[in-house]
Amino acid sequence: MVLIAKTLLQNWKIFFIEAGALSEFTGRFFTQGFRPRYEFREFVKQCFLIGYQSLALIALTAFIMGLVLTMQLRPSLVAYGVESQLPAMVGIAIVREIGPVLTALIFAGKIGSSIGAELGSMKVTEQIDAMEVSGTNPFKYLVVTRVFAATLMMPILVMLSICISLFGSYLGVNIRGVTSFHLFWTQIFDFLKFSDIIPAFIKSFFFGFAVGIIGCYKGYYSSKGTEGVGRSANSAVVVASVVVFIIDLIAVQITDVLGLN
């Protein structure tokens, strides 16, 4: 019993230490990120790696998600006799929640682990130290560029994911029924409001930032050799995914308070 209590206490202590270190790391990003010299080329490269190269995976999952969600919702709506509302309901679900959160989770899995592993391996092989010695600011070059790229690419990925997911939904609607393409999009846009799309768009910046900063933090402070690299990558994915949900929770509370729900 005492052992369990000690372990819990230790874990809580580690949690707070990690939270403090992450906050300090985030503060360092804001202090150094907006100051010259800007690593623009590295930023564009990271945008390509983080954004463009994630598109295929996110597009596939989004398409499947739209299709599956539509087919799963259909029986319930048929039972209530409101099958015609299927495009509108799926549209709102995808735009408000499924699109941003699903994209963020896939993004955390792919990019969070990638950044954590990449920076972790650079850390354990002392490449980051070498950069410091050679006069390059490794934080600016490695962290700031990746975090900015993740923050800016995430909303674009979310928009494309929503679009592809709605195409998947259109296919799902037409598997069991017949709805014209024009009517499908008209119904969706008829029900959507700015209060649906703007909060989703804004929170996707936070999702991207969270995935980027946590991946960089886990990798940047990686230790204990190759074992530490794997742990950093894994930890980056888990923490980023949890933080995505926490941000989503906060976002829905804020939109509720602002009367946008």
Partner 1 sequence: MAKKLANHFRLGIFVLAGLFFLVLLLYMIGKNENIFGSTFVLKARFENINGLMPGNNVRFAGINTGTVKDIAVLNDSTIEVTMLIKEKMKPFIKKNAIATIGSDGLMGNKLVNLTASKISAEEVNENDILLSGKAVDTDELIKVMGGATDDLALIVTGLKTTINKINNSAAFWDVMNDASLPVNLRSSLMNVKQSTAGMNNMVNDLQAMVRHVQSGKGSIGSLLVDTTFAHNLNEAVERVKRAGNMADSISIQVTTLVRNIDRNLNHGEGIATALLRDTAIVHRMENSLQNIQKGTEAFHQNMEALKTNFLFRGYFRRQDQQKKKQAPED
Q: Kindly list the residues in this chain that would bind partner 1 in the complex (CB under 8 A).
A: 44-45, 47-48, 51-52, 55, 82, 95, 155-157, 159-160, 162-163, 185, 189-190, 192-194, 196-197, 201
Minimum distance between the CB of residue 30 and partner 1, rounded to whole angstroms? Answer: 24
Q: How many CB atoms lie within 10 A of CB 194?
A: 9
CA angle 61, 65, 69 (to 5 degrees): 175
- Shorter beta-carbon distance to partner 1: residue 158 or 236: 158
Minimum distance between the CB of residue 206 and partner 1, rounded to whole angstroms? Answer: 17
Number of residues that make up the chain: 261
Minimum distance between the CB of residue 105 and partner 1, rounded to whole angstroms? Answer: 18
- Return the sign of the alpha-carbon dihedral for residues 44, 49, 55, 58: negative
Minimum distance between the CB of residue 92 and partner 1, rounded to whole angstroms? Answer: 12
Minimum distance between the CB of residue 174 and partner 1, rounded to whole angstroms? Answer: 21
Q: What are phi and psi of 130, to 5 degrees?
A: -65, -35
CA distance 92 to 69: 12
Tell me which residue has tokens 């954590």: 116
- Shorter beta-carbon distance to partner 1: residue 119 or 159: 159
As to burial, measured by CB atoms within 10 angstroms (0-12 exposed, 13-18 middle, 19+ buried), residue 50 is buried
- Shorter beta-carbon distance to partner 1: residue 40 or 134: 40
Q: At what angle do helices 99-107 and 225-257 cross, to 10 degrees?
A: 170
Minimum distance between the CB of residue 86 and partner 1, rounded to whole angstroms? Answer: 14
- Shorter beta-carbon distance to partner 1: residue 38 or 221: 38
Quote the tokens at residue 101.
């959160």
Q: Give the DSSP letter of residue 136.
A: -
- Shorter beta-carbon distance to partner 1: residue 54 or 235: 54
- Shorter beta-carbon distance to partner 1: residue 115 or 236: 115
CA distance 221 to 128: 11
